[in-house]
Structure 1
Amino acid sequence: MSRKIQSRSLFSKKRSKDRDLKYWLALLFVFLGLVYGGIFIIPVVPNMSSVENPNLYKVKINPQSSLSSIANQLSEQGVSINSVVMQVSARSLFVGSKLKPGTYLLPAGGSLGKILLQIARGDRVRESIAIIPGMTIWQLRGIIDSHAALIHLTKGMSNKELLQSLNLSYPSDEGIFLPDTYVFDPDEPDINIYRRAAQGMQKQLSQIWGQKEGGLPLKTPYDLLILSSIVEKETGRAGDRDMVAAVFINRLDRGMPLQTDPTVIYGIGPKFDGNLRKADLRKDTPYNTYMHKGLPPTPIAMPSKESILAAAHPAKSNALFFVAKGDGTSHFSQTLKEHETAVDRYQRKIAPKNSAN
């Protein structure tokens, strides 16, 4: 009899413990529900009717910020966040170490949970600047100087000062920036764009120089960059690049002047009005390749990777001349006589003598 009573007593205690466990688990779930409900329901982002977009609220988080620092930064910018609540919430959502710096547009009236997840995703405002192949340094500097999202540290610097800021020793800052689209955070210093673009070009130029064709009349990677910029400006159709490069390589090999209009235009500078005159071709500047043999002293634009590759791997051709056909392509000739006939046909619109017309 006593064993049955003892057994019932043990069973009763077990049931009591099970009830207690369920009770505490229920309380825990209720507590977690309240916590998570509070995180995702209670608004912390103010509603602003005076800003351009009343549905979004702009905040900025600095790089290498701790959780408490992020909380303080958001609080200083008008977001109603307690530092302790922020840290507990971030860790409970497992994003405490994933919050990313940057400028964010938070939804007005948004909850702490929503903005923590947004910041953890890095769903922030991004800006961009595109360096277009064929762009000159004065065009690039104008675009960067006028970009409202950048901190302008280089505005007003001379070209030499810009090179010194980048620790570069090129004769000019022309052509040394890799054409690409550069994405950045608002309020980033403009020198960072120049640095990234210069490093990209140096890396690309070095790689292509190491794989160039043998026997080219180019002494340095900078020579390759100069020639590439001329190929870039002289090419109307991508498929003609290697032939354009071949013409200039052949002329350099033979000691002939390059006789290319884009270098003359570059020598005129930003004041060029779009009309190249005979007087311009007779004006003696270092970039007048009608008057001076060899390469000009610096690049004349930012060349694309394709133009650098073409200059490093020109077509196998004996062509010494080319003329634009008017449709974006060029006609290439090996002799002056053939070239003059092509100029008559495509530029002067004079029909060949054996034409039926």
Structure 2
Amino acid sequence: MKFNLLKGKKVWPIIFFLIFVLFFLDIFYFFFTPILSHRDTPVVYSLWPGTSYWKSANQLHSRGLLSRPSYWLALGFLEGNLKNLKAGDYQISPGVTTPHQLLSQMLVGKGVLYSVTIPEGWTFAQMKEAISKNPYLKHMENASTDILSRLNLIIKFKYPEGYFFPETYYFVRWTPEEKVYEKAYQTMEEKINTAWLARAPDLPYNNQEEVLIVASLIEKETAQHDERPLVAGVILNRLKKRMYLQIDACVIYGLQDNYRGKLTKEDLKTETAYNLYLHKGLPPTPICLPSFDSIHAALHPIQTESLFYVSRGDGTHQFSKTLKEHQTAINKYLRHKT
């Protein structure tokens, strides 16, 4: 009897040790085995803003994505990250994503990326509309409030047109929309600063604001990469000679909602600060969000004697040095006279 008791005392530590090992292996297996090892399609789990760590465990368990939510909670306690989960959509890939990987992604906010695209040549109003309609961004309250004051952006100028870089911006779900504005503004600031430092010598610009204005005119005048420095040269030539720029896109911008899809003679006589048939010099602001290509062209214009250009109808333009040459080009390409 005594022998059996002693023998039992020696066995229990082994049993406890084996239980501990099995428990440890079970935890290891749980955390490092792919969640969807037997599924064919990915699953996206949406972690809504304000979701607690405990609630996320229950949600994942109810969807069959966590077999042991208590293990998930235990890891959170051990790492002290119960309140640090980042809202977003998280993709669980078959045969790849483990519970440990999923938790790591949630802690750093490495979720599914969505995007909003701001095309080159769009106006700020178009950019604002696209951002406001994006379903994956967190939109600001009181949309009628001035966008710049709500963003707290330190902008050197009084208007937003031209100061946000056209680009595709990526973000995780529920990112505040002001982050897109901030990124677009910072990107444009970096682009214009870099381009300004590398500008050609002896340009007539007084500041970067004028560069953006000319770049926006170039952006609207031609989509041809090779033509943009030439258009820049023509604009600067006309400014130097104190000629009216007579840029239709600028007139259209000034008309705003009064533009009906085709410029008329009455439109060209309508008084706005952007009617360059009536006002010499540059318009008061950019008229769109220019591309870096147009910014570069404004700062590296081709030295040309041309003062005029007219559309050929195929996306390219005919450039002319004299009014007589220009009238001939108009007759050929617009009036179809030989």
TM-score when normalising by structure 1: 0.76
Pair 1:318 & 2:305 matched: yes
Asked if residue 118 in structure 1 is aligned to residue 105 in structure 2, the reply is no
Shift of 1:187: 1.6
The reply on whether 1:36 has 2:34 as its aligned counterpart is no
Out of 72-81 and 168-177, give the one that drifted further.
72-81
Q: 1:43 to 1:256 in 2, by over 3 A?
A: closer
Aligned AA (1:117) = Q
Q: For residues 287-334 of structure 1, what are the alpha-carbon distances to aligned partners after superposition, in whole Å with 9 as ceiling and x for unaligned?
A: 001111100000000000000000000012111000111111111111
- Distance in 1 of aligned mates of 2:148 and 2:219: 24
The reply on whether 1:309 has 2:296 as its aligned counterpart is: yes
SS in 2 for 1:202: helix
Instruction: Tell me, yes or no, if structure 1 residue 101 matches structure 2 residue 83.
Output: no
Q: Which residue of 2 aligns with 1:156?
A: 144
Gaps of 5+ in 1: 1-21, 45-52, 63-68, 352-357
Q: Which residue of 2 aligns with 1:58?
A: 46
User: Greater Rg, structure 1 or structure 2?
Assistant: 1
Q: Does 1:129 align with 2:116?
A: yes
- The Cα shift of 1:211 comes to 1.8
Contact 1:106 1:115 (8 Å CA) reproduced: no
Closer, same or farther: CA 38–248 of 1 in aligned 2, 3 Å: closer
**Which whole-Å CA distance do the structure 1 matches of 2:148 and 2:266 have between them?**
30
Taking the TM superposition and a 5 Å limit, the aligned residue runs for 1:209-288 are 209-288=196-275
8 Å Cα contact 1:225-1:308 kept in structure 2: yes
TM superposition shift of 1:210? 1.9
Q: Unaligned 5+ residue runs, structure 2? A: 1-13
Give 1:216 deviation, angstroms: 1.6
Q: Counterpart of 2:272 in structure 1: which amino acid?
A: T
Equivalent residue runs for 1:155-174 within 5 Å: 155-158=143-146, 161=149, 165-174=152-161
- Which amino acid in structure 2 is aligned with residue 156 of structure 1? S
Residue 176 of structure 1 deviates from its aligned partner by 0.7
How many residues end up aligned between the 2 structures? 313
User: How far apart, in 2, do the equivalents of 1:132 and 1:123 lie?
Assistant: 26
Whole-Å separation in 2 of the counterparts to 1:174 and 1:210: 22
Q: Normalising by structure 2, what TM-score?
A: 0.79
Take 1:155 and 1:167, find their aligned partners in 2: how far apart are those partners? 20
Could you say which residue in structure 2 is the equivalent of 1:355? none
Between the aligned partners of 2:218 and 2:173, the Cα distance in structure 1 is 35
C-alpha distance in structure 2 between counterparts of 1:340 and 1:245, whole Å? 21
What is residue 71 of structure 1 aligned with on the other side?
A: 53
* Residue in 2 that maps onto 1:201: 188
Contact kept in structure 2, 1:177 and 1:197, CA below 8 Å: yes
SS in 2 for 1:239: coil
Cα deviation, residue 161, structure 1: 3.6
8 Å CA contact retained: 1:59, 1:77:
no
C-alpha distance in structure 2 between counterparts of 1:267 and 1:286, whole Å: 7
Report what 1:85 is aligned to: 71
| 1:298 matched to 2:298 | no
Question: How far apart are residue 155 of structure 1 and its match?
Answer: 2.1
For 2:272 and 2:35, locate their aligned partners in 1 and report how far apart those are by CA, in whole Å. 67
1:140 to 127, 133, 146: 127
CA contact under 8 A between 2:114 and 2:170: conserved in structure 1?
yes
Where 2:170 maps in the other structure, the secondary structure is: strand
Equivalent pair of 1:226/1:298 in contact (CA under 8 Å): yes
Structure 1 residues 217-253: Cα deviation after superposition (integer angstroms, max 9, x where no partner): 2111000000000000001312110001110011111
Write the deviation string for residues 188-225 of structure 1: whole angstroms up to 9, x where unpaired: 22111111111111111112112212222211100000
Deviates more, 1:124-133 or 1:245-254: 124-133
User: Percent identity of the aligned residues?
Assistant: 32
Q: CA deviation at 1:156?
A: 1.5
Letter aligned with residue 101 of structure 1: K
